[in-house]
């Protein structure tokens, strides 16, 4: 079936190119694009499969689900005792943007029926992991998650994006000011809509607007010492109604 679809796609794009009288090189490029598109159809883009098995084992109401990217993902890996002790669930996936979190929000948050959700999103949007996205649209994705949670009687905690002066996997984007602006937008929305705002940023940021070396080896991902500070902040915030 795949081979037939592949041949059909090539024929379609080749016919279009002939009509447009474009070069042979463009023909090759478009055919490769068609093949890539077909392969992409089988990809679990939002990674629903990552927590599918774990979600099936959830039998009691969690105090909170922590939704996020590698910062949340690494958090559970480095200090799972914190999550287990407080009856929290970690649902972070490395590399994810706010759009991917929004897509899997039902499977990894709503269907688990937790008392609260702690949303930490934005780092990979600023890093343009899936291409450019405006801060307004990042906020829009976060707002959509918040609205979904509230519609299902799940308390919402919106976290500040942790500071970063540069991204090791994508240099030169100058994220410090963008993160500060996004945090201001998240905070303003939270205050306006009476949603709890979790301020990690002000406790972690250095004079450059980044994450200091004592809190991170790569300037983005927290060390265990940094996570301990974040844990103290979020536990106190969760206990505050």
List of E strands, the chain? 64-68, 88-92, 116-120, 155-159, 196-198
pLDDT band at 140; cut points 50, 70, 90: very high
Average pLDDT over residues 46-73: 97
pLDDT band of residue 17 (cuts 50, 70, 90) is very low
Report the sign of the C-alpha dihedral through residues 3, 8, 14, 17, in that order.
Answer: negative
Q: Lowest-pLDDT range, 26-40, 100-114, 138-152, 225-239?
A: 26-40
pTM (2 d.p.): 0.83
Q: Is residue 78 packed enough to be buried (19+ CB in 10 Å), middle (13-18) or exposed (0-12)?
A: middle
Q: Does residue 151 carry a pLDDT above 70?
A: yes
Burial per residue of 23-54, b for 16 or more beta-carbon CB atoms within 10 angstroms, e otherwise: eeeebeebbeebeeeeeeeeeeebbeebbeee
For residues 31 and 57, membership in a common domain is answered with no
pLDDT score for 42: 63
What is the average per-residue pLDDT within 160-164? 98
Is 55 in the same domain as 109? yes
Secondary structure, 3-state, 31-48 = HHHHHHHHHHCCCCCCCC
Q: What is the extent of the structural domain holding 17?
A: 2-40
Residue 115, domain CATH: 3.40.50.1110
Q: Do 61 and 105 have their domain in common? A: yes
Count CB neighbours of 177 within 10 A: 9
Same domain, 129 and 35: no
> Across the chain, what does the average pLDDT equal?
88
């Amino acid at each position: 079936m795949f081979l037939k679809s592949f041949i059909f796609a090539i024929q379609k794009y080749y016919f279009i190119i002939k009509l447009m009288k474009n070069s042979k090189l463009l023909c090759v490029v478009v055919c490769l694009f068609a093949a890539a598109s077909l392969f992409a159809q089988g990809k679990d883009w939002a990674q629903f499969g990552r927590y599918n098995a774990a979600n099936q084992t959830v039998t009691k109401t969690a105090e909170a689900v922590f939704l996020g990217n590698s910062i949340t993902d690494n958090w559970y890996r480095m200090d799972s005792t914190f999550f287990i002790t407080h009856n929290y669930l970690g649902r972070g996936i490395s590399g994810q943007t706010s759009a991917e979190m929004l897509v899997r929000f039902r499977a990894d948050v709503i269907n688990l029926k937790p008392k609260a959700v702690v949303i930490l999103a934005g780092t990979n949007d600023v890093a343009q992991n899936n291409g450019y996205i405006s801060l307004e649209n990042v906020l829009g994705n976060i707002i959509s998650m918040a609205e979904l949670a509230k519609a299902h009687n799940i308390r919402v905690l919106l976290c500040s994006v942790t500071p970063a002066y540069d991204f090791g996997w994508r240099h030169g984007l100058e994220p410090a000011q963008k993160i500060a602006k996004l945090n201001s937008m998240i905070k303003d929305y939270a205050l306006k809509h009476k949603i709890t705002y979790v301020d990690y940023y002000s406790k972690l940021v250095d004079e450059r607007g980044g994450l200091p070396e004592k809190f991170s080896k790569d300037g983005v991902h927290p060390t265990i010492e940094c996570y301990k500070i974040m844990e103290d902040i979020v536990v106190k915030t969760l206990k505050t109604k």
